[in-house]
Amino acid sequence: MQTTAETTQEHGAIAVEQAHGHGDHPDHRLFGMGVFLFAEAMIFLGLFAAYLTFRSVAEVWPPAGTPERELLLPGINTIILISSSFVMNRGNQAIKQDDVKGMQFWFGLTAALGAIFLAGQGYEYYTNTFGLTDNLFTSTFYVLTGFHGLHVMFGLSLILLVLLRSRTPGHYSSTSHFGIEASELYWHFVDVVWIVLFLILYIL
Amino acid sequence: MSVSTLEPTQTPQPPQPKHPERHWKDFFGFSTDHKVIAIQYFVVSFVFYLIAGAMATSIRVELATPDADFLGYENYNGVLTLHGTMMIFLWIVPAGAAFANYLIPLMIGAKDMAFPVLNGLAFWLVPPGGALLLLSLLAETPPSAGWTSYPPLSLMTGQVGQMMWILAVLLLGTSSILGGVNFVTTILKMRIKEMGLYDMPLFCWAMLATSMLILISTPVLAGALILLSFDLLAGTAFFNPTGGGDPIVYQHMFWFYSHPAVYIMILPVFGLISDILPVHARKPIFGYKAIAYSSLAIAFLGNIVWAHHMFTSGTPGWLRMFFMAATMVIAVPTGIKIFSWVATIWGGKLRLNSAMLFAIGFVSMFLVGGLSGVMVASVPFDIHVHDTYFIVAHFHYVLFGGSVFGIYAGIYHWYPKMVGRMLDETWGKVHFALTFVGFNLCFFPMHILGLQGMPRRVVQYDPAFADINRICTIGSIILAVSTLPFLFNAVYCWFWGEKALPNPWNALTLEWQTSSPPIIENFEEEPVLWSGPYDYGIDSEPEEDTRSVADLLAEVKAEM
Ligand SMILES: [Cu+2]
């Protein structure tokens, strides 16, 4: 039998584990996901380091002619994203009590907050008076926030996938909910990256 | 799963041994078996080795005379760029992944990697990456900025070819990262219960260090390439000084990956050598913990030395001092390994077969590359030889004399396990002799060329260098020819070689406790750890020597 815990979905994991007998291993997917997120963090770290180097080498920063950045909207967006992490954690706690409905509520709320964040960012892009190629600051601004935005989109699709799967009765339970843990871990990661990004792009 | 299946999946099956047969078609599709994936890595990376090797030979033929008369101005830079890129990203890095895939689960007694599907996915990113690089040769201007692709040069040499290069490297980098995730998880989480970290074969330690390096550094290269592609396609100026950007930042990001990449390419081979030498010297490894820790030390130090590639890029004095000192410190853990290997074979009962010859060849050739490495770590000397053939000589001693010799040693050692048949020793020795002579003839004289001031990456040069260049070219042709006996041997023995026993070398690590080749889930039943990985010759009672490992195993089992 070639299937392993990796290829099976959550509700089958226990059965497969029993089917495999003594030799099989416990679920390492969350550990692997953590290792992968470490690598992801290194991409962002590399990009942040590049940005900070550009900044420290430049004589004036942001380069002359860069319009003032608006802080209100991104500030609200930051609060929305940070609070969504706490909302999402409620969902994880709900599933630990086998409360699928509660999980669906909190995850649905998280997805809504994530969508508002993305919409806010889209609005900000749309109303910005500077373009991608104007100068070194505007280029890094768009590439960094855009790359982060892609990650938010991916995290959002993970949450939606969890919500879709949770419609199957018994798919998630207090003992088997890797998808919920994984999407939450990913969402927290995206959240932490945004905090750093916000600090160095908007505040610093 | 079909409805007609009689056995319901929910019922726990008794652990009955059933062995589905391996089918040859498995090797040509998406597989999740680490052994199949490993062979796929081996074959694909070796094909690219042959392609990139043909490029190398054509570069040497071009350089046999001072004039540009073979490849010519138009093709030289493209061939040079792809030779370097392919040798690194499509030969040595995936060849390391091939060994890691094959050996890690077997060495730690696991049935497979932690994430078999991810493993298959990681492999299947390699062929498209390679195909993209090959196709980029057909672009109007192939990627021509060298394997480093420094901007602004890489922004000026042709958009399409350069972009294909970037995409290919991003794909191959992603593959490498996914591999790293799998290796770390497998090594840390999937060992059989009795095996602690210090009972692991040293190859596992080496792969742990390698994977850590991959996970730390490869993403930063990806970041650099993302910014570079914006410069190339979208008109930003991150690295373009005419738009206010800073090309030095690219160099920092690039070398933050590409210096550790040297260790990503050499650490797995360090591991292979640590496992080959004790078996064929019939002695315990000297300094197990020293070798294990020195791998970790190299993985740590390897991350903080990158700017030694940038001593001539206007780096400030204090930065140069730091990177010079840090680089020299790396010689310490590396030296520890060399001493341990020499002490391991010292006074051993050496079996000078092909695997051992390549392993000893590795230690001596890598030593030359390591010594010239300490030379170029020193700022004044580096400024003198920067961008000359001395550098070309140095890194070929590390990457060919080191990595490639070690990979060959590994192939000769584990081929019987992977294929189930022995390689022919005579052809193996011919292969070694030709490789050793050709390699030294090709690359040693380049040290002299570099000291005399011949710049690298040129198609045309001062006639004063012609004589030495001709020697290098003769060496390169011997080196090219040396591949033939190996290819013949490997292909012939795949079908008609002498059948291999489960443990032809009387080795102690777990991969030798199962059949050759291993069954699909590796072990008939969970293997027993009945000795340390390197306890050779410790018990020297005469009757011990006459018993085979199988007998001993049976005895251990009987006692349990
Ligand atoms: Cu280096």
Query: Is the bond preceding residue B94 a cis peptide, omega within 30 degrees?
Result: no
B115 touches chain A (CB under 8 A): yes
pLDDT at position B27? 83
Look at B115 and A45 and tell me if their CB atoms are within 8 Å: no
Indicate if the pLDDT at residue B8 is higher than 90. no
Around Cβ B230, how many Cβ atoms within 10 Å?
21
Q: Which two tokens stand for residue A125?
A: 């892009």
Question: In A, residues 117-156, which contact B (CB 8 Å cutoff)?
Answer: 132-133, 135-136, 139-140, 143, 147
pLDDT at position B435? 97
Look at B227 and A47 and tell me if their CB atoms are within 8 Å: yes
B15 touches chain A (CB under 8 A): yes
The answer to whether B281 and B345 have CB atoms below 8 angstroms apart is: yes
| Domains defined along chain A, listed by start | 28-203 (1.20.120.80)
Q: In Å, what is the CA distance from B397 to each residue of B259, B262, B361, B440, B491?
A: 15, 12, 11, 9, 28
> Nearest to residue B268, comparing CAs of B537, B23, B41?
B41
pLDDT, average across residues B17-43: 83
| Domains defined along chain B, listed by start | 32-559 (1.20.210.10)
State how far the Cα of B362 lies from the Cα of B346, in Å rounded to an integer: 16
Look at B526 and A25 and tell me if their CB atoms are within 8 Å: no
State how far the Cα of B143 lies from the Cα of B138, in Å rounded to an integer: 10
State how far the Cα of B505 lies from the Cα of B542, in Å rounded to an integer: 19
Residues of A in contact with B8 (CB under 8 A): none
Give the chain B residue nearest A45 (alpha carbons): B220
Which of A23, A32, A136 lies nearest to residue B111, judging by beta carbons?
A23
pLDDT at position B535? 84
Q: Which two tokens stand for residue B239?
A: 């690295």
Ligand 1 centroid to Cα of residue B264, in Å, is 12
State how far the Cα of B161 lies from the Cα of B182, in Å rounded to an integer: 32
Indicate if the pLDDT at residue B544 is higher than 60. no
pLDDT at position B554? 75
State how far the Cα of B169 lies from the Cα of B229, in Å rounded to an integer: 12
Residues of B in contact with A17 (CB under 8 A): none
User: Dihedrals φ, ψ of B421, to 5°?
Assistant: -135, 155
- Residue pLDDT, tens place only, B281-321: 999 999 999 999 999 999 999 999 999 999 999 888 899 99
Query: Which residues 6+ apart lie within 8 Å of B494 measured at CB?
Result: B419, B421
Asked if the ipTM is above 0.85, the reply is yes
- Residue pLDDT, tens place only, B482-533: 999 999 999 999 999 999 998 999 888 999 988 888 988 888 878 888 778 8
Indicate if the pLDDT at residue B559 is higher than 80. no
pLDDT at position B353? 94
When computed from its CA atoms, the radius of gyration of chain B, rounded to whole angstroms, is 24
Indicate if the pLDDT at residue B1 is higher than 50. no
Around Cβ B342, how many Cβ atoms within 10 Å?
15
Q: For an interface test with B, which of A7, A28, A29, A197 has the most B Cβ atoms less than 10 Å from its Cβ?
A: A28
Ligand 1 centroid to Cα of residue B549, in Å, is 43
pLDDT classification of B13: cutoffs 50, 70, 90 = very low
pLDDT, average across residues B236-241: 92
Report the phi/psi class of residue B224: left, alpha or beta, with left for phi > 0 and alpha for psi in -120 to 50: alpha
Question: In B, residues 253-282, which contact A (CB 8 Å cutoff)?
Answer: 253, 256
Look at B116 and A6 and tell me if their CB atoms are within 8 Å: yes
Q: For an interface test with B, which of A136, A137, A140, A148 has the most B Cβ atoms less than 10 Å from its Cβ?
A: A136
The answer to whether A165 and A157 have CB atoms below 8 angstroms apart is: no
pLDDT classification of B7: cutoffs 50, 70, 90 = very low
pLDDT at position B163? 96
Which of B115, B190, B224 lies nearest to residue A46, judging by beta carbons?
B224
A199 touches chain B (CB under 8 A): no
Q: What is the value of pTM for the model shown? A: 0.89
pLDDT at position A129? 87
State how far the Cα of B118 lies from the Cα of A190, in Å rounded to an integer: 22
Q: Which two tokens stand for residue B193?
A: 């219960």
B230 touches chain A (CB under 8 A): yes
B384 touches chain A (CB under 8 A): no
pLDDT classification of B14: cutoffs 50, 70, 90 = very low
Report the phi/psi class of residue B268: left, alpha or beta, with left for phi > 0 and alpha for psi in -120 to 50: alpha
- Residue pLDDT, tens place only, B52-81: 999 999 999 999 999 998 998 889 999 999
Q: In Å, what is the CA distance from B248 to each residue of A80, B85, B150, B239, B241?
A: 37, 21, 9, 8, 10
Ligand 1 centroid to Cα of residue A39, in Å, is 21
User: Dihedrals φ, ψ of B455, to 5°?
Assistant: -70, 150
Indicate if the pLDDT at residue B449 is higher than 90. yes
Residues of A in contact with B190 (CB under 8 A): 25, 28
pLDDT at position B560? 60
Look at B117 and A6 and tell me if their CB atoms are within 8 Å: yes
State how far the Cα of B119 lies from the Cα of B105, in Å rounded to an integer: 12
The position carrying tokens 């709900």 is A94
- Residue pLDDT, tens place only, B321-373: 999 999 999 999 999 999 999 999 998 889 999 999 999 999 999 999 999 99
**Counting Cβ atoms within 10 Å, is residue B444 exposed (0-12), middle (13-18) or buried (19+)?**
middle
pLDDT at position B534? 87
Ligand 1 centroid to Cα of residue B339, in Å, is 22
pLDDT at position A162? 95
pLDDT at position B26? 80
Size of chain A, expressed as the number of residues it contains: 204
State how far the Cα of A2 lies from the Cα of B34, in Å rounded to an integer: 12
Q: Which residues of chain A have pLDDT under 70?
A: 1-25
What spatial distance separates the first Cα and last Cα of chain B, rounded to whole Å? 39
Which of A15, A23, A50 lies nearest to residue B227, judging by beta carbons?
A50
More confident residue, B265 or A66: B265
Residues of B in contact with A19 (CB under 8 A): 9, 11-13
- The nearest CA of chain A is from the CA of B144 a distance in Å of 25
Indicate if the pLDDT at residue B540 is higher than 70. no
pLDDT, average across residues B195-216: 95
